[in-house]
Amino acid sequence: MKKLFLHILLAILLTLGIIWFAIAMLNSFTRHGKVYIVPDYTGMDHERVINEYGKLFNFIITDSIYQKDGVFGSVLQQDPYPGAKVKQGRNVYLITVARQPEKVTVPNLLNLSLRQAMASLETAGLELGEISYTSHFARNAVVRQNHKGTAIESGAQLFRGSAIDLVLGDGGEDFRVPFPMLIGLRPDEVKQSLHSQGLNLGNEYFMDNCTRENGRAFRLQPFYRTSQAVKPGTFITVWYKSEDALNFNRYVRDSLYLFENEPADTTETPEENPEF
């Protein structure tokens, strides 16, 4: 009987030992209780990130995206996000800035209307460059598509964001287009509005250190009143001010009245306007 109890005791101790060993190994494998806060790697060079934090996490670069003003190799996005709590050795996925944009296919824009061509270019990842007109029976239909002054065929490969210039038909006559309301618009909206009317964006001036993000149009050259008849293809220079420095709601409201008395086709420049 004594021997039986001894065997039972040994079995219990052995079982407890196995359980303790299993738990210890499991904790060691899962690093139970040991978590680390994921830093914000955005803007850092990915090689520096790997060198400095490679002992804590396993970094995997999942994609590279071109960013016009981005620094090649810097981190654009990360997963998990900054501040997340993860265990040592876990995967952290990075998206970095590519050296150059990917290439896209140039669509066939011939015979499309201006609006259709603009939509096709946007879908293809390309930009609309300059708009010009030529004698052709189909008004506002695309007659030629060019890139850097040379005709470009559909199916050609260009870097994403490249500009395609369009030559449109004038319908066989001299015509005019209504000038859009631009005051108060953001840079991208200004460009879109001008192109929609067959007009071109000329030089852009950002006053008071404003940026494309907070700048809004407050002056034009040459000046045209809203809906005034303008020759298509005209280039419009635009000045922007920060929306933080000017009450644009009031400025736009007042402009609708004040600009009625301002002469068209002004020739002022930033240097000649100290109030800028």
Do residues 216 and 184 lie in contact, with contact meaning Cβ atoms separated by under 8 Å?
yes
- Checking if the pLDDT of 1 tops 90, the result is no
Report which of residues 69 and 6 the model is more confident about.
69
Residue 274 lies in a domain: yes
Lowest mean pLDDT of 99-108, 120-129, 207-216, 252-261, name the range: 252-261
On whether residue 54 sits in a domain, the answer given is: yes
Tell whether 260 and 214 lie within a shared domain. Answer: yes
pTM: 0.68
166 inside domain: yes
Residues 117 and 82 in one domain: no
Instruction: Mark which of 175, 193, 214 sits at the end of a domain.
Output: 175
Token couple for 228: 């005034």
Q: Looking at residues 16-34, what average pLDDT do you find? A: 64
What is residue 23's predicted lDDT score, i.e. its pLDDT?
67
Same domain, 211 and 274: yes
Q: Which of 56, 80, 97 is the last residue of a domain?
A: 97
Torsion sign (Cα): 189, 191, 192, 197: positive
Residue 259 has a pLDDT of 53
Rounded-to-integer distance, Cα 110 and Cα 213, Å? 34
Please check whether residues 240 and 251 belong to one and the same domain: yes
Mean pLDDT, range 27-32, rounded to an integer? 54
**Structural domain containing residue 111:** 101-175
Q: Which of 148, 175, 202 is the last residue of a domain?
A: 175
CATH of the domain at 85: 3.30.10.20
pLDDT at 268: 41
pLDDT at 151 > cutoff 70 = yes
Count how many domains the chain has: 3
Between 65 and 30, the higher pLDDT residue: 65
Residues 227 and 131 occupy one common structural domain: no
Instruction: For residues 111 and 166, state if they share a domain.
Output: yes
SS3 181: coil
* CB-CB contact of 199 with 234 (8 Å): yes
Q: How, if at all, do strands 142-147 and 150-151 pair?
A: antiparallel
Same-domain status, 262 and 184: yes
For residues 71 and 112, membership in a common domain is answered with: no
Contacts of 47 (CB under 8 A, 6+ apart): 73
Q: State the CB neighbour count (10 A cutoff) for residue 210.
A: 20
Question: Within a domain: residue 253?
Answer: yes
